[in-house]
Structure 1
Amino acid sequence: MSKITIDNQIGDEQLEIIEKYDKEQKTRSFDKASLAKMIYWAAVIISLYHFITSFVGAPATLKHRSLHVSMMLFLSFILYPASDKASRKKLPVYDTVLALLSLGITLYVWIDYPNIIARAGLINRMDMIVGTCLVVLVLEASRRISGLPLTLLAMVFIAYALFGRNIPGIFSHRGYDWSSLVNQFFISTDGIYGTSVGVASSYIFLFILFGEVMNKSGMGKFFNDIALALAGSSMGGPAKVAVIASGFLGSINGSAIANVVTTGTFTIPLMKKTGYSKEFAGAVEATASVGGQLLPPIMGATAFIMAEMVGIKYSSIIVYAAIPAILYYIGIIIQVHFRASKRNLVGLPKEELPKVGDVMKESGHLLIPIVFLLGMLFFSGKTVVFSAFCSILVTIATSMLKKNTRMSLKDMIDALASGAKGTVSVAMACAIVGIIIAVTSITGFGLNMANAIIQLGGTSILATLIFTMVTCMILGMGLPSIPAYLITATIAAPALVKLGIPVVAAHLFVFYFAMFANLTPPVALAAFAAAGLSGGDPMKTGIASVKLALAGFIIPYMFVFNNEILLLNTTWLIALRVAFTSIIGVMMIGVAIEGYLLKQVPVWLRAASFLCALLLITANVMQDMVGFAILAVLLVQQMLKVKKEKANAY
């Protein structure tokens, strides 16, 4: 009998679902072989530039970032049609002109660089023309790739900068003319060529390339097979496989929707076959895929931007984020397990599953690059960029150890091409967010927004957190993870920092809720994509996703009030105690939602279980004791019920 394995290949039907919910994936496929080959090699050259400069060093900041943005703009207009009705087989003349104009911008910066520096912000007419072209090109590229929401938001901020003097109240400012804005957007490294593009042109590009090289070596298949081997035969096995595989893949690929479709194509039918409803099967895949962005070490590349914005080492960010992410996944798996136990949904036959030993023997060596990367980040003292450079080389070398993972020269070149193409959407999102960040900075909008949130919350930190949560989920609707985080970190996080909340806790708080916008109706793109695969109702799938991710909605409040979960200013002994009580608390959330532990749980104990969960996720010892007392009552009730049912059976 053949073993069950997960095929990572995406068919036409799955591709349609990705394109429906993720506009970033709707690219051209040229009918002219010569044109397709030219774009392919252009992408390879772009990747080689970033790869080589990560080792030998990049040019001056403004030169390097302008070249990165221009290359990404070039690919944007080549790969993404102007509208859904435009041809995806041919390249129109106007897109050729826009692509060449994009390269002209960096050509201007490089040629006139000494004069641009000498002018020190006093822009001339040519600066105005080129800068205005850059803003228009970035807005148009963003519209094509990410859709209207992010583009309109940037345009609203531009209008706010121009006409803010006419706005009454705390959001009024002195107003800026267009030349001042162009200076900020174009010449300055605080605008389009700001921190976010700086991170995209270094860390993010390399780690996307790292992910592509790993994928070519078979890492995706390894993650899927090891998940099947570990959890496939357990109670409700296919759902647990979905959680584990999607968590691994989501941390690397950075796209919740692509992750839903890649893994869900296989796991959702298996979950339905096991007995899970269409909506629940879709919800499991959606929540696990979104959680991948929260999971170290890569966190969908957001960890690098967070490290830059917070001013903390990347290696520290992934340590702080580890326990909350693990708690999130434990919360999902607990609910999956309780539902399977309640409905007696058995796992897959062991004889049809790969064995852990066989999987490790066949592809376990692919873990070497990840171990090497973590070793470099934590112990080498080298930069993140150099660590990524070395990890890519180690991945290629490791793949050569066995025939089934060995990369050919074509695989390596394909990875280079895919890396450049895969970075386009992230780079454009970072560029357009640079406009929003620039306006926020010069107008004082960020500080005013922080004051407004604090005023709404009054003297209550909890109320302020709730208002911040709502703000983040609104701002994150329909946006990819990186721009969602950048916007919420710029607009909402300062309010929490102003209240005295540690900066890393504030940024993780807004990041979590920006991500959960992908699960929460009415714009739950990850949940809707999963519903497209499962055949379930999109809104019901979204609601089921929120229930599954409920622990995730509580965890950010946990680490704000209880910094020990982030391993901030604490000892390992206290951290272990808090982690243990938090795990029990997350488990009790699952009991409250599913109404099951060993047997069916009555309504009054479900309510008590939720209270128990809230008590156990604090750092207060007295509250922990009350929580464990409630847990003891629940366990006694469950054991008595089991004993009674056994007695009745005889």
Structure 2
Amino acid sequence: MDQKKQLEAAGVENEAAGHGSLSQVALDELVASSDTGARTPAGLASKLILGVALVWSLFQLWIASPLPYMLGVGILNDTQARSFHLAFALFLGFAAYPAARSRLDLAIGLSVPALLVVLFMIGAKEGVNTWWIPVFGLCVMAAILAGSPKHRVPSWEWAMALLAAGSAFYTYLFYESISQRVGAPITQDFVVAVLGIMLLLEAARRSLGPALMVVATLFLVYTFLGPLMPAIVSHKGNALSEVVNHQWITTEGVFGIALGVSTSFVFLFVLFGSLLDKAGAGNYFIQVAFSLMGHLRGGPAKAAVVSSAMTGLISGSSIANVVTTGTFTIPLMRKVGFSAEKAGAIEVASSVNGQIMPPVMGAAAFLMVEYVGLSYFEVVKHAFLPALISYIALVYIVHLEAMKSNLQALPRSYEPGPLMQRLVGLAFAIVAICVLSFLVYYGMGWIRPTFGNKAGFVVFALLVLVYLGLLVVASREEALKLDDPNEPTTSLPVPGPTARAGLHYILPVVVLVWSLMVDRLSPGLSAFWASAFMIFILLTQRPLMAMLRGEGALLARVSEGFSDLLDGLVSGARNMIGIGIATATAGIIVGAVSQTGVGSALADVVEVLSGGHLMAILFLTAVLSLILGMGLPTTANYIVVSALLAPVIVTLGQQNGLIVPLIAVHLFVFYFGIMADVTPPVGLASFAAAAVSGGDPVKTGVVAFFYSLRTAALPFLFIFNTELLLIDVTWLQGVFVFLIATAAMLLFAAATQGWFLTRNRVHESLLLLLIAFSLFRPGFWMDRIVPPFQSVAPATIEDAVMQVEPGEEIRLTVDGLDQLGDPVSFVGVLPVAAGETGVDRLVGSGLQYVVEGETVRIDNVTYDSPAQEAGFDWDQIVTNVSIPNAQPSKYWMFIPALMLLGLVVLLQRRRSS
């Protein structure tokens, strides 16, 4: 309920509970309290906060650009850049966020420093002077207790901001000396680390609510008090010197991978989204969505889904997405007949889904690159199809809701042309886009070798020409303005003029996608070039548009462009305060996991609770991801659930014969962590939507949860059917998988919503669920008819591999010891190498063994071989060998599934007629 308290502190609790929707001022305050900082001081303090935010954005652009290397000035390594990044975030965290939002926040804020003092004193060994630890704790508690108003920053909070920033900056100032004493911290290291951890957790409470602060504190408790824990999760415990070294001095904890991704990639993508929004792209997306879909049944709701999807492409915040698009879409949904709860729930479901949609995925895409070890292109490729299917299904759910309630569409303000004319126009547009893409792709391939080092200038000149051409097109249309959704009548914008009025906003997105997907530049450099082009657009679009329209006042337009740019740079930095602090705080959790080995202990807990049943393991992991994700922003959410629960699925799945690619496991826990943004009682996105709609926030969250069941079903499906993630499929197979999976998800939505062609009967819903499952996982039924693997005796392993073509895989079940020396049994997948004999093939795969009667013992595993990657090690006992079995195509199972679908259609059409 801590998230609800955050809304109460914004003064919106009564209105959000159903007593009326909020004003725009209150909504802006709601977003600020959650994302950018609720404090609005006047005078010098305000200018200082804005100035620091501006400098932060400029610093991030500098380190991402090629300029430091070209000029030989300001070159920072990863650790030093992280130090600057966290220093900015902590300073702004204390300056922009007041001390307490509620009594619960205050109680937790006072309790955690006291608890940390106790833990640090317990962990301190003899010879370490610790009198200053309780002094620091009392000072932090006194500053929290003194409180701070929203409209000014007290002196003690400036002191906390400077001390926090200094603690983060310490690793930069003393980088050389620290690198020479890693593992042997001195008193100075102790002081800075203890103070830094205390202030970091306090900054997390202010900017993110108490949830992440509490979770991180519990992991510190576990780190220090390991011997006092239950036997299944106990460990030796760690001293203060070990924690200081691991969490603050090295890059294993606070300054680890998560903060590094925030520094290198995430900031620039958030900044790019902020600049794009300041330019007017957010309004453009909403208008285009309404012009295309507003005339359909439930049109405003469908447009809300599409506009939220487009906004979610570049947004890292569920609540900002809800409020930005929901301010316009929710009143229109209510106008055509949706209840307050359903209108809010549709906006919540679509906005939260923006966090699973590439290319940003709430920054999780960039973290997956580091954690999974895949390229950014591969991560986006695997994540794209489930996200797209989920959005298509949500549009269909909206359609079903409109059918159930017999809702009507909004009136068009124009007469559409004949259907054939529109189809021909659409086909022509598709062909034109394909031809243009072809020309651009091969044109770029000609420009680079032709112009060499000057190719970048040529590309920029061509981009400017295209930009000017699109501005000419836009200048001939009326400027886009949002209609007031609370007016009695609303006319829909005309699609053609609406789309043409903002085509230049798509150019920076094209630059970003091209850099990422075609040129395969790093995410940071790609976002830099896209942001640089976005800055150029912000500075020029107003004066150029004024010239083309003959409006005059060019100096005023130039000034407005600079103002937009400054606002975008400041907003981007303020949007990053919470993310920067979240990634650093989540680093404490990741550091505790690596220091204590709690991951393997958690796997034991899940195995005991599940009884070793595979579906029970997945279900428990999903529930734990949902619980751990409550109250956490998207980035911290993914860091926590992936660090704790992804290894659980990999370990227990392998022990139960389920070999899952690591990317599928990470997407599984990420999806369920994101569901926490929807699910009561802590779903902040649902409270934000209720604040706009005037509906009940808990009911809104419950309805949004049922709308999001399609998202919850997808992870279970792609764990067992990795084709949904486009793993090991051709492009033609990918198109086929997309069409079948989309049809299956639409049938699943029809079953869960109780409406297909007409209202479902119970047996029809069950049949639709069965059909959807069969389309998603045809292999499940085929495996029951013809097993995919044939088991042979371990002693016949040489003959078995000769029955398998080189490049195919066999599965070996082995008994051995895990990293902690405990007995473990698991299944490993071994690719078969080429060779004349079975022994040659196994040795070529890296596996050497000894046959002792009926027992096969692994004698050696070649370094960096497929056998080592599969987890095999010396002295393991092979208990079973499974080779592929000849099996008919699993797609034959579509025939009975489609026959059942025909039966349901026949029954419903007969009843509806």
Answer whether contact 2:182 2:250 (CA < 8 A) is retained: no
2:338 is equivalent to residue 269 of structure 1: no
2:348 is equivalent to residue 286 of structure 1: yes
2:658 is equivalent to residue 495 of structure 1: no
Match of 1:214 among 267, 271, 276: 276
Q: Larger RCO: Structure 1 or Structure 2 (Cα < 8 Å, ≥ 6 residues apart)?
A: 1
SS state of the match for residue 252, structure 1? Answer: coil
Higher helix content, 1 or 2: 1
Match of 1:300 among 345, 358, 362: 362
Q: Report which stretch shifted further, 246-255 or 123-132.
A: 246-255
Once the two structures are superposed, the pairs formed by residues 196-207 of structure 1 within 5 Å of their partners are 196-207=258-269
In 2 relative to 1, CA 67–396 (structure 1 residues): closer, same or farther, beyond 3 Å? closer
Match of 2:629 among 476, 479, 493: 476
Distance 2:626 2:240 in 1: 31
Structure 1 residue 257, shift from structure 2 partner: 1.3
Match of 1:79 among 93, 96, 120: 96
Structure 1 residue 151, shift from structure 2 partner: 0.5
Match of 1:41 among 51, 56, 62: 51
2:589 is equivalent to residue 436 of structure 1: yes
Answer whether contact 1:10 1:262 (CA < 8 A) is retained: no
2:529 is equivalent to residue 410 of structure 1: no
Q: Report which stretch shifted further, 312-321 or 622-631.
A: 622-631
Answer whether contact 1:185 1:435 (CA < 8 A) is retained: yes
Answer whether contact 1:272 1:281 (CA < 8 A) is retained: yes
Once the two structures are superposed, the pairs formed by residues 252-267 of structure 1 within 5 Å of their partners are 252-267=314-329
Match of 2:244 among 172, 182, 196: 182
Distance 1:251 1:492 in 2: 26
Distance 1:136 1:265 in 2: 38
2:665 is equivalent to residue 512 of structure 1: no
Aligned residue pair count: 632
Higher strand content, 1 or 2: 2
2:378 is equivalent to residue 316 of structure 1: yes
SS state of the match for residue 119, structure 1? Answer: coil
Answer whether contact 1:63 1:106 (CA < 8 A) is retained: no
Matched residue type, 1:597: F
Match of 2:494 among 355, 369, 374: 355
Structure 1 residue 364, shift from structure 2 partner: 1.3
In 2 relative to 1, CA 338–109 (structure 1 residues): closer, same or farther, beyond 3 Å? closer
Distance 2:689 2:54 in 1: 33
In 2 relative to 1, CA 415–160 (structure 1 residues): closer, same or farther, beyond 3 Å? same
Answer whether contact 2:53 2:573 (CA < 8 A) is retained: yes
Answer whether contact 1:578 1:619 (CA < 8 A) is retained: no
Structure 1 residue 17, shift from structure 2 partner: 4.4
Structure 1 residue 463, shift from structure 2 partner: 1.5
Root-mean-square deviation (Å): 1.9
Q: Report which stretch shifted further, 430-439 or 23-32.
A: 23-32
Return the TM-score normalized by structure 1.
0.94
1:31 is matched with which residue?
42
Return the TM-score normalized by structure 2.
0.67
- Which has the greater radius of gyration? 2
Match of 2:535 among 381, 396, 410: 396
Answer whether contact 2:301 2:329 (CA < 8 A) is retained: yes
Post-superposition CA distance 1:83-121 (Å, at most 9, x none): 136311111011111112123225543332221111122
Q: Report which stretch shifted further, 51-60 or 275-284.
A: 51-60
Distance 1:120 1:17 in 2: 44
1:151 is matched with which residue?
213
Structure 1 residue 356, shift from structure 2 partner: 2.0
Answer whether contact 2:227 2:235 (CA < 8 A) is retained: yes
Identity of aligned residues (%): 36
1:224 is matched with which residue?
286
Answer whether contact 1:189 1:195 (CA < 8 A) is retained: yes
Structure 1 residue 197, shift from structure 2 partner: 0.5
Structure 1 residue 531, shift from structure 2 partner: 1.9
Structure 1 residue 238, shift from structure 2 partner: 0.7
Answer whether contact 2:37 2:93 (CA < 8 A) is retained: no
Answer whether contact 2:36 2:574 (CA < 8 A) is retained: no
2:638 is equivalent to residue 638 of structure 1: no
In 2 relative to 1, CA 317–619 (structure 1 residues): closer, same or farther, beyond 3 Å? farther
Match of 1:92 among 129, 150, 154: 154
Match of 2:731 among 572, 589, 601: 572
Match of 2:83 among 66, 71, 76: 66
Structure 1 residue 632, shift from structure 2 partner: 0.7
2:759 is matched with which residue?
600
2:525 is equivalent to residue 386 of structure 1: yes
2:298 is matched with which residue?
236
SS state of the match for residue 517, structure 1? Answer: helix
2:898 is matched with which residue?
628
In 2 relative to 1, CA 571–459 (structure 1 residues): closer, same or farther, beyond 3 Å? farther
Match of 2:769 among 590, 605, 610: 610
Match of 2:516 among 339, 361, 377: 377
SS state of the match for residue 140, structure 1? Answer: helix
Distance 1:146 1:505 in 2: 28
Q: List gaps (5 residues or longer) in structure 2.
A: 1-21, 70-74, 102-146, 414-490, 547-556, 654-658, 780-890
Q: Report which stretch shifted further, 212-221 or 598-607.
A: 598-607
Structure 1 residue 337, shift from structure 2 partner: 0.4
Match of 1:584 among 732, 743, 746: 743
Q: Report which stretch shifted further, 456-465 or 420-429.
A: 456-465
Answer whether contact 1:369 1:391 (CA < 8 A) is retained: yes
Structure 1 residue 210, shift from structure 2 partner: 0.6
In 2 relative to 1, CA 189–10 (structure 1 residues): closer, same or farther, beyond 3 Å? farther
Answer whether contact 1:233 1:350 (CA < 8 A) is retained: yes
Structure 1 residue 195, shift from structure 2 partner: 0.4
Answer whether contact 2:377 2:520 (CA < 8 A) is retained: no
Post-superposition CA distance 1:372-424 (Å, at most 9, x none): 11111112132221111111122233453562899711211221111211111
2:690 is equivalent to residue 531 of structure 1: yes
Structure 1 residue 622, shift from structure 2 partner: 4.2
Answer whether contact 1:521 1:539 (CA < 8 A) is retained: yes
Answer whether contact 2:79 2:251 (CA < 8 A) is retained: yes
SS state of the match for residue 418, structure 1? Answer: helix
Answer whether contact 2:83 2:170 (CA < 8 A) is retained: no
2:716 is matched with which residue?
557
Structure 1 residue 590, shift from structure 2 partner: 2.4
1:6 is matched with which residue?
none
Structure 1 residue 264, shift from structure 2 partner: 1.1
Structure 1 residue 346, shift from structure 2 partner: 1.6
2:25 is matched with which residue?
12
Matched residue type, 1:627: A
SS state of the match for residue 170, structure 1? Answer: helix
In 2 relative to 1, CA 172–630 (structure 1 residues): closer, same or farther, beyond 3 Å? same
Answer whether contact 2:512 2:526 (CA < 8 A) is retained: yes
2:398 is equivalent to residue 336 of structure 1: yes
In 2 relative to 1, CA 466–106 (structure 1 residues): closer, same or farther, beyond 3 Å? closer
Matched residue type, 1:432: T
Distance 1:60 1:373 in 2: 24
SS state of the match for residue 180, structure 2? Answer: helix
Distance 2:617 2:173 in 1: 49
Answer whether contact 2:87 2:169 (CA < 8 A) is retained: no
Structure 1 residue 466, shift from structure 2 partner: 0.4
SS state of the match for residue 233, structure 2? Answer: coil
Distance 2:522 2:778 in 1: 35
1:648 is matched with which residue?
none
Answer whether contact 1:581 1:624 (CA < 8 A) is retained: no
Distance 2:635 2:561 in 1: 32
2:471 is matched with which residue?
none
Answer whether contact 2:164 2:200 (CA < 8 A) is retained: no
